[in-house]
Structure 1
Amino acid sequence: MQKDYKKVEASQVVISELMLPSHSNFNGKIHGGYILSLLDQIAFACASKHSGAYCVTASVDTVDFLRPIEIGELVTMKASVNYVGRSSMVIGIRVEAENIQTGDTKHCNSSYFTMVAKNNQGESVEVPGLILQNDNEIRRFAKSIKRNKMKKKRVQEFHETDFSSERYLHLLEEHKVKIEKD
């Protein structure tokens, strides 16, 4: 039987990897797709550690690429469970890159992955709650609630069945767009 609640620190995962030329894009920077793959792996590890179950990626709510990562830098990813629902968890991930020659570090990426715990039959299973122990953990949980509400509103807007372009034309006025309707 799983515990009813777990501390955030019990599920935290940290990974580090040296960035190699094989991870770079045509511009000589580390390819964003490679970083996304690492983010998905650490989100899986963190969510599985918290839930004690196999977890799948339900959505990637935010991926902010803040600064480029260079070949030869040591990338460290830190993942925490920021929020839990019945079977879902929001995993917050911070990515930092360190120049191993100078010791300078930079914040390169922040990401939020929604993961869902599953059983062997592929059905969603309940996850333990979170024990929040400090203001930072409370802030992360509250911000996740806010992001979830905004996400539900976005989904609702995209599924409107009574779409009329005239209702949205005023939103386009300040953008670089030209409308040529037949």
Structure 2
Amino acid sequence: MTDIVLPPDTNYHGTIFGGKVMAYIDKVASITAMRHCRRQVVTASSDSLDFLAPICTSEAICLEAYVSWTHNTSMEVYVKVEAENLLTGERRLTSQAYLTFVALDENGKPTPVPPVLPETEEERWNYRTAPERFEIRNRRRTLAKQQYTTE
């Protein structure tokens, strides 16, 4: 997904709002998850979003996503965000994120998803390291539930 960054998209530094980048990430990740499982999906978590560099007015924001790993009913989606200077074609990595989506059946209940078949070295690395991220997400979720129920 690619879009141009215009002045209404930016803060007083002339760079895109972080929340706008987050919305783009969630949108492209949702599309990616739905294409993978051909089901409705819901965002279950966003484990990390690292802003590495700003995207300025008049640059393009370019997002690329793929399903990096699946569990029973969930999918981990990796999203890479780049800025592109439209005059020179130069691109630079500006952020990246991992999100988790759950596939839903016709009744809105979680339903199984197909496995991932990684092809590139990057995809294989994300696939190999996904179980560790899965465990971290589960621990974080368990702690959040415990905290909520004890308050």
> What's the C-alpha RMSD, in Å, of the aligned pairs?
1.8
Tell me the equivalent position of 2:26.
Answer: 40
Q: Which residue of 3, 10, 25 maps to 2:11?
A: 25
Give the SS at the match of 1:106. strand
1:127-166 to 2 correspondences below 5 Å:
127-157=113-143, 159=146
In structure 1, how many angstroms separate the alpha carbons of the residues matched to 2:45 and 2:122? 23
In structure 1, how many angstroms separate the alpha carbons of the residues matched to 2:19 and 2:68? 24
| AA at the equivalent of 1:88 | S
In structure 2, how many angstroms separate the alpha carbons of the residues matched to 1:119 and 1:154? 26
Provide closer, same or farther for how the CA distance between residues 103 and 62 of structure 1 changes in structure 2, counting only shifts above 3 A.
Answer: same
In structure 1, how many angstroms separate the alpha carbons of the residues matched to 2:142 and 2:23? 29
In structure 1, how many angstroms separate the alpha carbons of the residues matched to 2:18 and 2:47? 16
Q: Is 2:136 aligned against 1:125?
A: no
In structure 2, how many angstroms separate the alpha carbons of the residues matched to 1:125 and 1:154? 23
After TM superposition, the score normalised by the length of structure 1 is 0.75
In structure 1, how many angstroms separate the alpha carbons of the residues matched to 2:18 and 2:72? 31
Tell me the equivalent position of 2:82.
Answer: 96
In the TM superposition, residue 126 of structure 1 has moved relative to its aligned partner by 0.7
| AA at the equivalent of 1:24 | T
Instruction: Judge conservation of contact 2:68–2:118 (CA < 8 Å) in 1.
Output: no
After TM superposition, the score normalised by the length of structure 2 is 0.90
Q: Is 2:49 aligned against 1:49?
A: no
1:58-137 to 2 correspondences below 5 Å:
58-137=44-123
In structure 2, how many angstroms separate the alpha carbons of the residues matched to 1:134 and 1:73? 28
Flag the structure with larger Rg.
Answer: 1
In the TM superposition, residue 132 of structure 1 has moved relative to its aligned partner by 2.7
Provide closer, same or farther for how the CA distance between residues 98 and 156 of structure 1 changes in structure 2, counting only shifts above 3 A.
Answer: same
1:160-179 to 2 correspondences below 5 Å:
none
Q: Which runs of 5+ in 2 are unaligned?
A: none
Give aligned pairs, total.
148
